Chains A and B, each alone.
Chain A
Amino acid sequence: MKVLIPIKRVIDANVKVRVRGDGSGVETQNVKMAMNPFCEIAVEEAVRLKEAGLAEELIVISCGVTQCQETLRTGLAMGADRGILVETDAELEPLAVAKLLKAVVDKESPDLIILGKQSVDGDNNQTGQMLAALLGWPQGTFISKIEIKDSGSAITREVDGGLEMLEIKLPAVVTVDLRLNEPRYASLPNIMKAKKKPIETISPDALGVDVAPRVEILEVTEPPSRQAGIKVESVGELVDKLRNEAKVI
């Protein structure tokens, strides 16, 4: 089985994100970047499938700027076999990424695509679903468990009411949730081995995909800072404030 794992380079989750002075977006200059945490979980799951003898080849793929190679290299150090960089300086929206991935899937024909359910920068939660739709493949989103079987693979999804168990036919797209696994460290010997693994670079043009944005960002602002709370004297006062000031009851 061949597994494709799309991964994204995002601002490191430990960095305090700031809005650019001109309100055009979030500051990414001189900010530490890292692999999206959900993508790490996706890579980890794929590596476990390979270790269990259920997958033969793991391909990590990333779409974006040259430096995404570093993110791919981390995926390779965790255990993926090769990488693909779809290189572009354009701001990529989920639909553009899904189209790029579809074009690569058409060439590579993987049996399973594992993605993070969302990335911690845009929190869009769209790419996996759009990719499944473009491919016409079944999709299993927010999974916390996956079992690969010949007859049909079993997945467990985290839904509002609890856990939902489903069977899914391969080829399929799955997106992973936090509780699926705990990603491993890339050990230093594996970091050194990753240097020798191949990364192929292709352009959106070569894939015949138009990545022009469909959404225009007008302004990005910081969330309002939290106001200090107040103490009320009685339940009556509380109800009054909720009704007449907060207007929530």
Chain B
Amino acid sequence: MDSVYFSEEHRMLGDQLRRFVDEEVRPNGESWEAAGRIPRAVLARMGELGFLGMRYPERYGGTALDTLASVVLAEELGRSGFGGFAITVLVHTDMASPHLARYGSPEQLERYLPQVIRGEAITAIGVTEPDAGSDVAALRTSAERSGNRGWVLNGAKTFITNGAQADLYFIAARTDPEAKGARGLSIFIVEKGAAGFTVARTLDKMGWRASDTAELVFEDCFVSSENLLGEESHGFYQIMDNFQNERTVMGAMAMGEAQRAIEITLDYVKTRKAFGGPLWDKQAIRNRLAMLAAKVEAGRQLVYHAAWLDAQGRDCVREVSMVKAYCGELVNEVMYACQQFHGGMGYMRESAIERMARDARIHSIGGGATEVMLEEVAKRLGH
């Protein structure tokens, strides 16, 4: 965490997060994995400590910090080694609730943001559909006007993190069926339990087992006019706006996971003996771990730089897309090697590296697949 980009409060925040991870997350992570969810008391405790409102105005209970604070949070939560826990929190803080904070009306902010910051209302963002993922412009869920009072939503969302246990959902839907592609999308605030809104099923995933991921169905779900979030037909741009933050945070989380993997693998190879000495004495192993550590350090610095650009209000799409592509692939390269160096033990469900390797796989897929990210980079090369 020693970097030119961080100030004293970032470092103090990092220390407190690290302690929280040591005391509250690592001892309980296995049971959360088995239960498929994070106890609400843990999220409420994080709210109490100010970890869930770092970016939001002080008048709602936040601390008005910038993108670099999100990076500290994501890296430390990633370092827990429990991706399912980390993503539950980060979707709430950096992927879903920013939509409310950025585009909410004063009334909406007053009503929802304090509970979001306290961790009493957990948030989810509903964009992806069975037929549209990274291609946001292809969304089909519809919102039809119902007189002056509001809108009626119909459609389905899938792969929604915090989908089963959220209290507030920000749902993207097509409000203008005539408009092509990106135009004509809007975002709505839907509360848990709204008539016509059901959680169809919780999805069974390869990793992130402690995080609940669900399929949501809207059947004539009425949403009042006050719950339109932001401007009508501007949904696509609102979604795109937060992508930079979301992807930076995913990159930071991935680098936290990679550091943790290297750390536990170092411990393992220094104690595990084969052919008369610890594995650590084999240059094939130490060289590879050293190179991976160098790449992870490079990845972290790129994350910090992208976050700094974002915090400065500078255009950072190219750098953030690089972060997402590079870190998402790198964390998998690290997990593969670290699992390899654990030998047969690394294939056992009881070893942390087995879980971490499964958790890492999503990093090159979710929140912008590597291929999509590289296209974003390619478009911006040469100028």
Q: Which of A's residues lie within 8 Å of B, judged by CB?
A: 14, 30, 34, 70, 73-74, 77, 185-192, 194-195
Q: How far is the CB of A198 from chain B (nearest CB, A)?
A: 15
**A71 CA to B311 CA, complexed, in Å:** 27
Instruction: Collect the chain A residues with CB atoms within 8 Å of residue B54's CB.
Output: 188
**A185 CA to B15 CA, complexed, in Å:** 10
**A188 and B50 in contact (CB under 8 A), knowing A34-B15, A74-B15?**
yes
CB contacts under 8 Å to A, within B327-381, are none
Instruction: Collect the chain A residues with CB atoms within 8 Å of residue B8's CB.
Output: 70, 73, 195
Instruction: Collect the chain B residues with CB atoms within 8 Å of residue A185's CB.
Output: 16, 19-20, 49
Given contacts A74-B15, A185-B19, 20 further A-B contacts (CB under 8 A): A30-B2, A34-B15, A73-B8, A73-B12, A77-B12, A185-B20, A186-B16, A187-B49, A187-B50, A188-B16, A188-B51, A188-B53, A188-B63, A188-B65, A189-B61, A190-B50, A191-B9, A191-B16, A191-B50, A192-B63
Contact of A191 among B2, B13, B20 (CB under 8 A): B13
Question: Is B48 an interface position by the 8 A CB rule?
Answer: yes
Q: How far is the CB of B367 from chain A (nearest CB, A)?
A: 25
Instruction: Collect the chain A residues with CB atoms within 8 Å of residue B61's CB.
Output: 189
Closest to B11 in A: A70
The answer to whether A70 touches B12, judged by C-beta atoms less than 8 angstroms apart, is yes
Cβ contacts B46-61/A at 8 Å (1 or 0 each) = 0011110110000001
**A77 CA to B50 CA, complexed, in Å:** 13
Instruction: Collect the chain A residues with CB atoms within 8 Å of residue B15's CB.
Output: 34, 74
Closest to B48 in A: A187
Closest to B9 in A: A191
Instruction: Collect the chain B residues with CB atoms within 8 Å of residue A74's CB.
Output: 12, 15
Instruction: Collect the chain B residues with CB atoms within 8 Å of residue A190's CB.
Output: 50
Q: Which of B's residues lie within 8 Å of A, judged by CB?
A: 2, 8-9, 11-13, 15-16, 19-20, 22, 48-51, 53-54, 61, 63, 65
Closest to A74 in B: B12
**A86 CA to B274 CA, complexed, in Å:** 52
Q: 6 closest Cβ contacts across the A-B interface?
A: A188-B50, A187-B50, A187-B49, A189-B50, A191-B12, A188-B63
Closest to A182 in B: B23
> Considering residues A73, A186, A189, A191, which has the most beta carbons from chain B within 10 angstroms of its beta carbon?
A191
**A185 CA to B54 CA, complexed, in Å:** 16
Instruction: Collect the chain A residues with CB atoms within 8 Å of residue B22's CB.
Output: 14
Instruction: Collect the chain A residues with CB atoms within 8 Å of residue B49's CB.
Output: 185, 187-188
**A190 CA to B9 CA, complexed, in Å:** 10
Contact of B63 among A34, A70, A73, A189 (CB under 8 A): A189
**A73 CA to B51 CA, complexed, in Å:** 18
Q: How far is the CB of B52 from chain A (nearest CB, A)?
A: 9
> Considering residues A14, A34, A187, A190, which has the most beta carbons from chain B within 10 angstroms of its beta carbon?
A187
Instruction: Collect the chain A residues with CB atoms within 8 Å of residue B51's CB.
Output: 188
Q: How far is the CB of B263 from chain A (nearest CB, A)?
A: 11
> Considering residues A73, A74, A186, A188, which has the most beta carbons from chain B within 10 angstroms of its beta carbon?
A188
**A150 CA to B314 CA, complexed, in Å:** 61
**A119 CA to B20 CA, complexed, in Å:** 23
Q: How far is the CB of A236 from chain B (nearest CB, A)?
A: 33
Instruction: Collect the chain B residues with CB atoms within 8 Å of residue A191's CB.
Output: 9, 12-13, 16, 50
Closest to A70 in B: B8
Instruction: Collect the chain B residues with CB atoms within 8 Å of residue A194's CB.
Output: 12
The answer to whether A195 touches B20, judged by C-beta atoms less than 8 angstroms apart, is no
Instruction: Collect the chain B residues with CB atoms within 8 Å of residue A73's CB.
Output: 8, 12
Instruction: Collect the chain A residues with CB atoms within 8 Å of residue B2's CB.
Output: 30
Q: How far is the CB of A39 from chain B (nearest CB, A)?
A: 14
Q: How far is the CB of A171 from chain B (nearest CB, A)?
A: 31
Closest to A34 in B: B15
Instruction: Collect the chain A residues with CB atoms within 8 Å of residue B20's CB.
Output: 185
Q: How far is the CB of A48 from chain B (nearest CB, A)?
A: 18
Closest to A193 in B: B63
**A74 CA to B2 CA, complexed, in Å:** 17
Contact of B9 among A14, A30, A34, A195 (CB under 8 A): A195
Instruction: Collect the chain B residues with CB atoms within 8 Å of residue A192's CB.
Output: 9, 63
Q: How far is the CB of B268 from chain A (nearest CB, A)?
A: 15
A-B contact pairs, 26 of them (CB 8 A): A14-B22, A30-B2, A70-B12, A73-B8, A74-B12, A74-B15, A77-B12, A185-B19, A185-B20, A186-B12, A187-B16, A187-B50, A188-B16, A188-B49, A188-B50, A188-B51, A188-B53, A188-B54, A188-B63, A188-B65, A189-B50, A190-B50, A191-B13, A192-B9, A194-B12, A195-B8
Instruction: Collect the chain A residues with CB atoms within 8 Å of residue B12's CB.
Output: 70, 73-74, 77, 186, 191, 194
**A34 CA to B11 CA, complexed, in Å:** 11
Q: How far is the CB of A172 from chain B (nearest CB, A)?
A: 31
Instruction: Collect the chain B residues with CB atoms within 8 Å of residue A14's CB.
Output: 22
Q: How far is the CB of A30 from chain B (nearest CB, A)?
A: 8
Closest to A195 in B: B9
Instruction: Collect the chain B residues with CB atoms within 8 Å of residue A186's CB.
Output: 12, 16
Instruction: Collect the chain B residues with CB atoms within 8 Å of residue A195's CB.
Output: 8-9
Instruction: Collect the chain B residues with CB atoms within 8 Å of residue A34's CB.
Output: 15
